[in-house]
Structure 1
């Protein structure tokens, strides 16, 4: 994004909700870009996400005021929060959970120079596996392209690779991640440790350990993935 007060204001607007800009880029001239706020092709995208549990207090306070049976509450919070910020900055908000699905992981790799871990999650050299992309802002005004620095892939530098041996469902290997095996384990009655503590393979990764999600946040994500009831 271009330097200046507008960027600083966007950073502040996101930070007020525990969010942050996770890099961005200008679409190539010959690239089919999604529509921006007016319906014309967007010229640039800025990824919006978080690291660690920065969003959790904000989401938790919002959640208390919502109906107990609200479906996909974190997605609802993301849509409401990022959507409001998008209007303020003349952008279109898009989300990784909405159809037609947009290439969020490819955008994220392009914006921040990250690569996938054996768990399928992009691994960050500082945050490890404890980060996420909650949405993106599409702009129709060209902004300065942020060229990500070439980052060292943390998994390549990891010798012991404890994540490959920590999964009780054998859903993680050096060559694949099997979400169906993970889901079957969680629903089998043997997945209590994972549901209560979070993904054991993810917890085994030593990178970014200081950014690990709070226990409540980890349990929320695991129970949501398993289709189990989540606490308010």
Structure 2
């Protein structure tokens, strides 16, 4: 039977993606005895977001409100990947918590969800839970034939070593980039892992507009 805390996270439309008892080397907030990474997989969290706030609301603001309520109910505190002072090491926590591997795109790839997940917060608890550490599974990219994610981008923004953010943003702002704006990142769609969790068009378009808007504000 699943742990009650994990059940509560799922009922709130988030997915528990990894967990561990942090030590000094993990650079977690002081007094955090147990850390659970939570986020979205597939459409459930976005459906709740759209239902409660409408897509005109910024997702980060909604996330902070929704997760703070969940954290209070569970006796936890929360930190977020969009906090910039300090920038919390979510990808390092993902490695530590068995939440996946680094893909050639630089994104975290999960053995079940593929590239179709994102960390929205970390719940910090003052006690240690008796939870079996999740296994990251084998690295799916190591046996992927051809690595289609690296050749799917229309402007070659990914080369396996880095991500050309400006080339991506410029493409999205042009007429020829509207297919990417409507459907989402074609490199992510090219990955064969976790396709059943791919974002629906409304969710994909929301994220692409948010990304482009942030680049244009810089």
Tell which deviates more after alignment, 184-193 or 152-161.
Answer: 184-193
Structure 1 residues 31, 47: closer, same or farther in 2, change over 3 A? closer
Q: What's the TM-score, normalizing by structure 2?
A: 0.89
1:164–1:173 Cα contact (<8 Å) kept: yes
Deviation at 1:114, TM superposition (A): 1.5
Match of 1:185 among 161, 171, 182: 171
Matching residue of 2:49: 59
Q: What's the TM-score, normalizing by structure 1?
A: 0.84
- 1:47 corresponds to 2:37: yes
Matching residue of 1:96: 81
2:14–2:39 Cα contact (<8 Å) kept: yes
Structure 1 residues 219, 29: closer, same or farther in 2, change over 3 A? closer
1:23–1:146 Cα contact (<8 Å) kept: no
Matching residue of 2:188: 202
Give the root-mean-square deviation of aligned CA atoms. 2.1
Structure 2: where are the runs of 5+ without partners?
none
- 1:18 corresponds to 2:24: no
Question: Whole-Å Cα distance in 1 between the matches of residues 192 and 53 of structure 2?
Answer: 31
Higher helix share: 2
Matching residue of 1:159: 145
Tell which deviates more after alignment, 15-24 or 155-164.
Answer: 15-24
2:76–2:125 Cα contact (<8 Å) kept: yes
Structure 1 stretches of at least 4 aligned residues deviating more than 6 Å after TM superposition = none
Tell me the number of residue pairs that the alignment of Structure 1 and Structure 2 aligns: 213
Offset from partner CA, 1:197-230 (integer Å, 9 cap, x none): 11111111111111111111111111110008xx
Superposed, 1:71-90 pairs within 5 Å as 73-90=58-75
Match of 2:121 among 118, 129, 135: 135
User: What SS does the corresponding residue of 1:21 show, helix, strand or coil?
Assistant: strand
Question: Whole-Å Cα distance in 2 between the matches of residues 107 and 32 of structure 1?
Answer: 9
Deviation at 1:80, TM superposition (A): 1.0
Deviation at 1:192, TM superposition (A): 0.9
2:32–2:124 Cα contact (<8 Å) kept: yes
Structure 1 residues 110, 160: closer, same or farther in 2, change over 3 A? same
